[in-house]
């Protein structure tokens, strides 16, 4: 019996020694320039964030350690007018224009970034196209979300690309504590870090109906609290559309650990003296139409329809046990006074 057990153990050891080790691939990113920002025909100032990082995540929080300090950033239009983005002393990664330079539909704009190490990154001129207005904005709800939709009409006889950006403000209830007035409840922003883009390839000149543009989470402890929603409809270039389409594909990518690693997405910001040296990110130029919606969940119909075209955010399995404003930094203790 003992000999049989010994034989089995030896056989297992021999078999395991014949198994080839598999080393999973990984990417060791060298920190490079990351650019996150855009200009629109809305009122200035315009914001741009510059950082050093191994990857690009739109809208991510940038620590002071990764911020680019001392860059000289200039925006120029097709008439030779220019304005500087100046570094914000309180948020080092943030560069902002003043309030005097307003961008206009029909003009072209280019960006120049002079880095502290002497490198210069530029973009080619981009035309700011107009965008149709948002005709209607409305909502339904599921058990977990208020879902916002828009209707618009695509322009005829032109190739158009769209992007929708949105946010909402809603009431959050936590299990936290503290002495301040909103330790257990507060109003907070809900933002989506995805890219909701669309090309008019198959609907040129027709109506765009019931485009899903935002999910606002419903707190189960405050199911009837109002939701304050803002949606921006933006014109984007073909180059921008392809960039954000690839960005979203990689952001939502699922599959096996043996799948090929995603490739770096090339944007439109390139070294002036080396066309193989690209910054990460995309500098956008967009015309914008903005609409707001105030939703009372008690007046909105409950829907069982599937959410098409946009993925809902993940809902935490458990409520935060910290102070509400610590768990949800942002808006404050009271809802907006006006929302038009």
Q: Are 212 and 147 in contact (CB under 8 A)?
A: yes
pLDDT at 63 over 60: yes
- Per-residue model confidence (pLDDT) at position 271: 97
| DSSP secondary structure code for residue 251 in this structure | H
Averaged pLDDT for residues 262-280 = 91
Ramachandran region of residue 79, left (φ > 0), alpha (ψ -120 to 50) or beta? alpha
- Per-residue model confidence (pLDDT) at position 17: 39
The model's pTM: 0.86
Rounded to whole angstroms, how far apart are CA atoms 82 and 152? 33
Helix (H, G, I), strand (E, B) or coil at 150: strand
Rounded to whole angstroms, how far apart are CA atoms 260 and 105? 41
Q: Are 164 and 233 in contact (CB under 8 A)?
A: yes
More confident residue, 316 or 164: 164
Q: Are 295 and 139 in contact (CB under 8 A)?
A: yes
Per-residue pLDDT band for 263 (boundaries 50, 70, 90) equals confident
Per-residue pLDDT band for 19 (boundaries 50, 70, 90) equals very low
Domain with CATH 2.60.40 in the chain: 32-129+266-285
What digits encode the pLDDT tens for the residues 197-223? 999 998 888 999 999 999 999 999 999
> What is the per-residue burial (b if ≥16 Cβ within 10 Å, else e) of 159-184?
ebbbbbbbbbbbbbbbebeeeeebbb
Q: Are 37 and 103 in contact (CB under 8 A)?
A: no
Of 119-128, 134-143, 184-193, 206-215, which range is least confident? 184-193
pLDDT at 308 over 70: yes
More confident residue, 230 or 16: 230
CATH of region 32-129+266-285: 2.60.40
């Amino acid at each position: 019996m003992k000999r049989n057990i010994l034989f089995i153990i030896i056989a297992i050891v021999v078999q395991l020694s014949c198994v080839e080790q598999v080393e999973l691939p990984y990417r060791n990113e060298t920190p490079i320039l990351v650019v996150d920002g855009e200009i629109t025909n809305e009122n200035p100032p315009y914001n741009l964030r510059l950082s050093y990082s191994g990857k690009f995540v739109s809208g991510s929080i940038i620590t002071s350690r990764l911020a680019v300090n001392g860059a000289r950033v200039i925006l120029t239009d097709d008439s030779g007018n220019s304005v500087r983005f100046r570094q914000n002393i309180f948020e080092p990664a943030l560069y902002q224009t003043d309030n005097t330079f307003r961008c206009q539909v029909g003009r072209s704009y280019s960006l120049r970034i002079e880095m502290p190490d002497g490198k210069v990154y530029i973009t080619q001129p981009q035309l700011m196209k107009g965008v149709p207005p948002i005709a209607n904005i409305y909502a339904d709800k599921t058990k977990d979300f208020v879902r916002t939709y828009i209707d618009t009409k695509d322009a005829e006889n032109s190739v158009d690309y769209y992007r929708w950006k949105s946010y909402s403000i809603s009431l959050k209830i936590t299990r936290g504590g503290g002495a301040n007035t909103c330790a257990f409840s507060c109003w907070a922003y809900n933002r989506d870090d995805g890219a909701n883009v669309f090309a008019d390839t198959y609907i040129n000149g027709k109506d765009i109906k019931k485009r899903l543009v935002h999910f606002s989470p419903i707190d189960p402890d405050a199911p009837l609290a109002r939701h304050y929603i803002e949606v921006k409809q933006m014109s984007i270039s073909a180059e921008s559309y392809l960039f954000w389409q690839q960005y979203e594909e990689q952001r939502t990518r699922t599959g096996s650990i043996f799948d090929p690693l995603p490739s770096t997405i090339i944007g439109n910001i390139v070294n002036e003296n080396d066309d193989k040296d690209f910054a990460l990110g995309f500098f956008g130029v967009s015309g914008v139409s903005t609409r707001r919606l105030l939703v009372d969940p008690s007046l909105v119909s409950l829907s069982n329809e599937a959410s098409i075209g946009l993925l809902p955010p993940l809902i935490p399995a458990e409520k935060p046990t910290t102070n509400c404003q610590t768990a949800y930094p942002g808006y404050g203790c009271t809802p907006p006074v006006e929302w038009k």
